[in-house]
Amino acid sequence: MKVKFFDRRIVKIFLETTSAILAVLSGILIFVDIPDGGKWWALLVYLAIHAVVYVGIWLRSNSLNHVEIDIEGTKVTIKVGDIFSESGLKAIAFNEYFDTQVDNKLISDASLNGIYLKKHLGMPISRLDKEIEEYGFEPDEILDINEARTSGKKQKYRLGTIFVHGEYLLAAMSKFDESNRATLTMPEYLEFLIRFWDRVNKVYAQKSVSTPIFGSGITRIKGHKNISDEDLLKIMLWTFRISEMRFKYPARLSIIVHHEKIEQINLLDMKLLKNGV
């Protein structure tokens, strides 16, 4: 179980719940007398109700798959789902070259961008490549050309750069080393997130935006081998909070967690964060 039986947060929720139950019972007992012979039975029933309530809170806390928090006026939903089924804009992470070659070397066909390119693109990849080349990126988003690269594209883009393609936001998230492995340092990851939120603020057009947990999966964050998806999620929320990005109602931010990853994330923690991110 992600949440231990005697977790202090469970105890806190339990005490808040039972205080309301106790208030109701106290009001009832003003008008109802319990016979002397029935007081022990009443006590047992009272304790049994409390036990059931406590176990129910504990089980529910371990089975959460959807929570909503408020970050300075923006409704943020964290939930299990399929990002491709979400309405509004959907962010898909690419590497710093916006590579599109799904060959299980540059891009895995099981990765989110691999699935997007194979199943949801709706046009030849060559046409997408041409649109990326002709897109109106800001001057500081276009970096140098890596002539030494032998496979994939050569044009580099700054981390956090967004290419808007229909209802998708293709984002340059990871760097590639000489062996075409996705790598990031923590400063680079933070740079990506802060710039990403800034760019979303300029292009979202009051539509809701859905993202995955950026950095989950194949990306290697140097110096942080044991960083979990839950840690990455908290960093995403923190950088969103300190950014200038705010969604105007009814638009909202949704962070979509793959069903195979939800067991690694304690959504009770997320639910209790609220404005304390």
Considering the segment(s) 66-276 as one domain, its CATH architecture is 3-Layer(aba) Sandwich (3.40)
| DSSP run (H or E) holding 195 | helix 186-203
Share of the chain above pLDDT 90, in %: 44
Share of the chain above pLDDT 70, in %: 88
Residue 225 DSSP one-character state: T
pLDDT tens column, 175-232: 887 777 888 889 999 999 999 999 999 999 899 999 999 988 655 677 666 788 888 9
Q: What average pLDDT does this structure show over 144-161? A: 92
Note the pLDDT of residue 61: 66
Note the pLDDT of residue 53: 84
Q: Which of 89-98, 133-142, 254-263 has the lowest mean pLDDT?
A: 254-263
Query: Distance (Å, rounded) from C-alpha 80 to C-alpha 13?
Result: 23
Q: Is the pLDDT of residue 151 over 50?
A: yes
Note the pLDDT of residue 273: 64
Q: Is the pLDDT of residue 132 over 90?
A: yes
Note the pLDDT of residue 36: 67
Q: Is the pLDDT of residue 275 over 50?
A: no
Contact (Cβ atoms closer than 8 angstroms) between residue 221 and residue 192: no
Q: What average pLDDT does this structure show over 137-155? A: 92
- Average pLDDT of the chain, as a whole number: 85
**Which of the two residues, 236 and 42, has the higher pLDDT score?**
236
Q: 112-116, 218-222, 272-276: which has the highest mean pLDDT?
A: 112-116
Query: Distance (Å, rounded) from C-alpha 197 to C-alpha 13?
Result: 33
Place of tokens 């036990």: 51
Report the Cα 128 to chain-centroid distance in Å.
Answer: 27
pLDDT tens column, 54-103: 888 777 766 677 888 888 888 999 998 899 999 999 999 999 999 999 98
Report the number of secondary-structure helices (H) and strands (E) in the chain: 7, 11
Domain ranges of the chain: 8-62, 66-276
